[in-house]
Structure 1
Amino acid sequence: MTLEDLVRLRRARDGMDRDYALPLDVPALAKVALMSAGHFSRSFRAAFGETPYSYLMTRRVERAKALLRRGDMSVTDVCFAVGCTSLGSFSSRFTELVGETPSAYRARRHEAGAPIPACVAKVLTRPVRNR
Structure 2
Amino acid sequence: MRQLRRAKDAMDRDWADPDLDLDTVAAHAGYSRYHFIRAFKEAYGETPGQYLTHRRIERAEDLLLTANLSVTEICTLVGFSSLGTFSARFKTWTGLTPSEYRARHVGRGAALIPGCYAMLWAGGFRPGGAPARHRNSEEAP
| Shorter-chain TM-score tier | 0.7 to 0.9
Name 1:62's counterpart in structure 2. 58
The correspondence for 2:35, drawn from 11, 17, 39, is: 39
1:73-113 C-alpha deviation (Å, 9 max, x unpaired)? 0000000000000111110110001010001111224339x
CA contact (8 A) 1:75 1:103 kept: yes
CA contact (8 A) 1:71 1:106 kept: no
Which runs of 5 or more structure 2 residues have no equivalent in the other structure?
111-141
Which runs of 5 or more structure 1 residues have no equivalent in the other structure?
1-5, 115-131
Residue 15, structure 1, aligned to residue 37, structure 2: no
Name 1:87's counterpart in structure 2. 83
CA contact (8 A) 1:95 1:102 kept: yes
What is the aligned residue count?
A: 108
SS at match of 1:24: coil
| TM-score scaled by length of structure 2 | 0.73
In percent, how many aligned pairs have the same letter?
Answer: 51
Q: CA RMSD in A?
A: 1.5
Structure 1 stretches of at least 4 aligned residues deviating more than 6 Å after TM superposition: none
